[in-house]
Amino acid sequence: MIGILIISHSAAIARGVKELADQMAKGHVRIAAAGGTHDGGLGTSADLIVAAIEELRGVAAVLALVDMGSAVMSAEMALELSEVTFLISGAPLVEGALVAAVEALRPEATLAQVAAAAVRALEAKGVEPLPVLPSAEALVAPVLSGAITEVVLTVHNLVGLHMRPAKEFVQAAARFASTVRVCNLDRPDRAEGNAKSMIEVMKLGVTSGQRIRVRATGDDASAVVAALSKLVAENFGEA
């Protein structure tokens, strides 16, 4: 499992971002926060960050998100002292932490994958990130095999595929081996996306009453389409 470390110059901000990320992860991802100085002032403290890292003891690696560049030095010092495998992300603190928490829910998620998802967090707002060199995995085209199953669904829950329903949709799709693509039929300006990617699902901009097309390719294509259809039909558990 990948742990997430949130570092801010403000203790209140660090706690608030952790609270949001914890709500997305529902206790299934280890998340710790460190903010401010020992005397409660604004700044960062390597000692407080070390204490937060101790809360993540036992994870495979740690992704650290910081609010400003001056926090990087304290973060590096604390993480190196802790001797854990880590990456310090340049992703936006709030959006990056939320997306990283969702990506880290996947048991097989690697540190690089969680970090890459965090960096793309602003895409959901229509803001493109700086270009990143592709990983070796990304250069290998997937080989698709098996049946193709697709369905058109109408999203009826009040606010469409916002953060929580999008997370439920992505997690449901990720439980299956098939490749799953989704598009917003009522927003042809939005590109088709990977149904297992939080960012790509949210970029569809699906609102209540809009139709999505789900297309799955693989041996369990029918099963994943059925699961997603049920999720949408039940309004993602919303009233």
- What confidence score (pLDDT) does residue 141 get? 37
Q: Averaged over 14-31, what is the pLDDT? A: 92
- What confidence score (pLDDT) does residue 157 get? 87
Query: Both 92 and 184 in a single domain?
Result: no
- HSE-up (13 A, CA, CB side) for residue 73: 4
Query: Both 158 and 115 in a single domain?
Result: no
* Residue of 118, 101, 177 whose CA lies nearest to 143: 177
Total domains in the chain come to: 2
**Within a domain: residue 136?**
no
Query: Both 18 and 90 in a single domain?
Result: yes
Query: Both 179 and 219 in a single domain?
Result: yes
**Which residue segment(s) compose the domain that 100 sits in?**
2-125
Query: Is residue 64 within 8 Å of 88, Cβ to Cβ?
Result: yes
Query: Both 95 and 153 in a single domain?
Result: no
Range list of β-strands (E), the chain: 2-8, 31-35, 61-66, 86-89, 147-154, 179-184, 193-194, 211-218
- Predicted TM-score (pTM) of this structure: 0.62
**Within a domain: residue 229?**
yes
* pLDDT averaged over every residue in the chain: 85
Query: Both 91 and 166 in a single domain?
Result: no
Which positions are annotated as active-site residues? 9
- What confidence score (pLDDT) does residue 224 get? 92
pLDDT tens-digit series, residues 35-91? 998 888 888 888 899 999 999 999 999 999 998 767 888 888 888 888 888 988 888
Asked if the model's pLDDT at residue 107 lies above 50, the reply is yes
DSSP per-residue string spanning 65-122? EESSTTHHHHHHHHHHHHT--EEEE-S-HHHHHHHHHHHTTSTT--HHHHHHHHHTGG
Query: Both 93 and 188 in a single domain?
Result: no
- Cα separation of 89 and 104, whole Å? 14
- What confidence score (pLDDT) does residue 200 get? 86
Q: Output Rg (C-alpha) for the chain, integer angstroms.
A: 19
Query: Both 121 and 157 in a single domain?
Result: no
**Within a domain: residue 183?**
yes
- Cα separation of 149 and 152, whole Å? 11
Query: Both 151 and 87 in a single domain?
Result: no
Query: Both 159 and 222 in a single domain?
Result: yes
Of these ranges, 6-10, 45-49, 159-163, the one predicted with the greatest mean pLDDT is 6-10
Query: Is residue 31 within 8 Å of 21, Cβ to Cβ?
Result: yes
Higher-confidence position of 238 and 110: 110
Phi then psi for 213, rounded to 5 degrees?
-110, 125
pLDDT tens-digit series, residues 166-223? 888 988 998 899 999 999 998 888 889 999 888 888 888 899 899 999 999 988 889 9
- What confidence score (pLDDT) does residue 131 get? 47
**Within a domain: residue 6?**
yes
Asked if the model's pLDDT at residue 128 lies above 80, the reply is no
